[in-house]
Amino acid sequence: MAQEIPASRDGSEKSAGERDSKMQQFGKGGGDLVEAGAHFGVDGTETTAPWAQEPTSRLTKARVMEVIDPAFHRTGVLSVAVISPDEKRRNAALHALGECQTGPIQEFPSYSPDLDDAPRTLNRDFDVILVDLDSDPKCALELVKSICINGLATVMVYSAQVDSDLLLRSMRSGAREFLVLPFSPGAMAEAMVRASTLRLASRPPQKAEGRLLVFLSAKGGSGVTTLACNFAVSLAQESGKRILLIDLNLPLGGAAINLGIKAEHSIANAFQDFRWLDSSLLSSLLEEHGSGLSVLAAPSELAPTQVSEDAIDKLLEIALQNFDFVVVDAGSKLNLQRTLLFDESATVYLVTQVGLAELRNSNRLISRLSTAGSPKVEIVINRYDPLNQEIDEEHVTKALTRPAEWKIPNDYAAVRRVQNTAASLMEDDSEISRAIRQMAKAVCSQRFRKRNSGSAFR
């Protein structure tokens, strides 16, 4: 028997009476479980969660789904994790999965002691996570809650106790299915059909992917926000395509202020419950600049600086599927190196100035970003003064290990003027606007590079 637990989109808790509580029995099928090699992660390397005690991997073959639901063949292969300290209950779940599951299955004979690391690992490697409640209900539900908060995997729980209180607690923790031991014929198969359908429904509509353009500061105060904002405006004007500017320069991003935008929503709303983030929700959070540029602003109040990598990646994935170019003001956030911001298909504009501290930081970053699988890096010297007598051109090139691709002239008065009036630099014809416009034109003339999930930091 299986109890499906409908999830509320806004994350609010509802009583068990307000949700569908029907218990159903389903059709029957056969199959067998065969041993296979170890489970492999997305990068092809063998992965073992640090909290698992001697995890065992199994691969199943299915013969049954025509009897249950012919649509199952069209819903794709799921990877499944089975978590139970009890071998007998764990084997019962594995056997039920063996009758219907075609994807990889990995079993974990312990609950995780680390509720920060384990959910990230599980959400990264598995589509479905099946958790035994009976060994330690409190610990199991804490794990379920942590997994559901931190990612997109479908969590199912199972128990020999048909208990309404346990069902309600499971529902509140975020579980989507409550399966009852012993498993009735076909119950697991039907639950997997729903999980597969849910996974497909949660995917944004596929289309040609956009390009990711990241502005990264070698040191605070380098003018990265001003450059990112005006570059994005220029790109919107030059390309005539859909452009999105994301202000990720937390906790106090200034993109909206720079562009004269009063934002009702912010990136904090996108991260609040990123599991539900989709194209429609993202669209509702955006503001439009007069140039046609869409903007996802930073919060107007002090925002948390710790954002999960999964949340950032989900936002970028959806953005790239809906916009031709996604420009990100990343400030000086080097702690985001394991996200899609540093995917090898991205272009990172490393913004620096002619100063000892800036050049030293730039040298280190360029070295780090020069390995295989890293993003393309273009060096931007901001507030450039060719008459600088303290550090000449030769020493700058030596410090950067190569000539800079772009040099933005120093015109403090002009920049200060547009910042105070919330105007764009691109509204005037100046040396600065011409330099930024050349950057945008160069992007428009480049072909899209195919995005790869690999990264030097992954």
2, containing H or E segment? strand 2-4
What percent of the chain has pLDDT above 70?
Answer: 74
Specify whether 256 is located in the same domain as 138. Answer: no
The model's pTM: 0.56
Side-chain half-sphere CA neighbours of 175 within 13 A: 28
Specify whether 149 is located in the same domain as 278. Answer: no
Specify whether 168 is located in the same domain as 31. Answer: yes
- The helix/strand count (H/E) of the chain reads as 15, 16
Three-state DSSP class for 342? helix
Domain boundary (177, 202, 227) is at 202
User: Please, which residues have CB within 8 angstroms of residue 203's CB and are 6 or more apart in sequence?
Assistant: none
What pLDDT is attached to residue 25? 25
Specify whether 172 is located in the same domain as 237. Answer: no
Please give the Cα distance from 252 to 261 (Å, whole number): 15
User: Please, which residues have CB within 8 angstroms of residue 390's CB and are 6 or more apart in sequence?
Assistant: none
Q: Please name which of 198, 150, 91, 100 lies closest in space to residue 312, comparing C-alpha atoms.
A: 150
What pLDDT is attached to residue 149? 77
Please give the Cα distance from 420 to 432 (Å, whole number): 17
Tell me the residue type at 416: R
* CB neighbour burial string for 2-19, b if at least 16 within 10 angstroms, e if fewer: bbbbebeeeeeeeeeeeb
Please give the Cα distance from 448 to 455 (Å, whole number): 18
What pLDDT is attached to residue 422? 67
Domain boundary (202, 222, 252) is at 202
Domain boundary (145, 175, 202) is at 202
pLDDT digits (tens, 9 = 90+) for 195-243: 888 877 655 445 447 899 999 998 888 889 999 999 999 999 999 899 9
In a domain? residue 330: yes
Average pLDDT over residues 173-183: 93
Specify whether 170 is located in the same domain as 29. Answer: yes
Specify whether 224 is located in the same domain as 193. Answer: no
Between 335 and 35, where is the model more confident? 335
What pLDDT is attached to residue 55? 47
In a domain? residue 457: no
Would you place residue 27 in the very low, low, confident or very high pLDDT band (cuts 50, 70, 90)? very low
Which of 102-106, 346-350, 364-368 has maximum average pLDDT?
A: 346-350
Segments forming the whole domain that contains residue 131? 2-9+18-202
- Which of 19-33, 240-254, 278-292, 410-424 has the lowest average pLDDT? 19-33
Three-state DSSP class for 395? helix
Specify whether 289 is located in the same domain as 422. Answer: yes
Please give the Cα distance from 361 to 400 (Å, whole number): 9
State the CATH number of the domain containing residue 179. Answer: 3.40.50.2300
- The stretches of 126-218 forming alpha helices (DSSP H) are 137-150, 164-173, 187-202
| CB-based contact 312:341 (threshold 8 Å) | yes
Between 329 and 340, where is the model more confident? 329
Would you place residue 16 in the very low, low, confident or very high pLDDT band (cuts 50, 70, 90)? very low
Specify whether 103 is located in the same domain as 180. Answer: yes
Q: Tokens representing 213?
A: 């353009």
Specify whether 53 is located in the same domain as 107. Answer: yes
Specify whether 182 is located in the same domain as 272. Answer: no
What pLDDT is attached to residue 249? 86
Average pLDDT over residues 234-256: 90
What pLDDT is attached to residue 301? 76
What pLDDT is attached to residue 176? 92
Cα dihedral 310→313→315→318 (10° resolution): -120
Please give the Cα distance from 284 to 447 (Å, whole number): 30
Q: Please name which of 100, 439, 381, 64 lies closest in space to residue 217, comparing C-alpha atoms.
A: 381
- Token look-up 């509720």 returns 115
Number of structural domains in the chain:
2
What pLDDT is attached to residue 100? 85
pLDDT over 90 (residue 125): no
- Which of 92-101, 226-235, 331-340, 402-411 has the lowest average pLDDT? 331-340
pLDDT over 80 (residue 281): yes
In a domain? residue 455: no
Average pLDDT, the chain: 77
In a domain? residue 431: yes
What pLDDT is attached to residue 111? 87
State the CATH number of the domain containing residue 218. Answer: 3.40.50.300
What pLDDT is attached to residue 124? 76
Specify whether 129 is located in the same domain as 218. Answer: no
In a domain? residue 449: no
Specify whether 161 is located in the same domain as 252. Answer: no
In a domain? residue 453: no
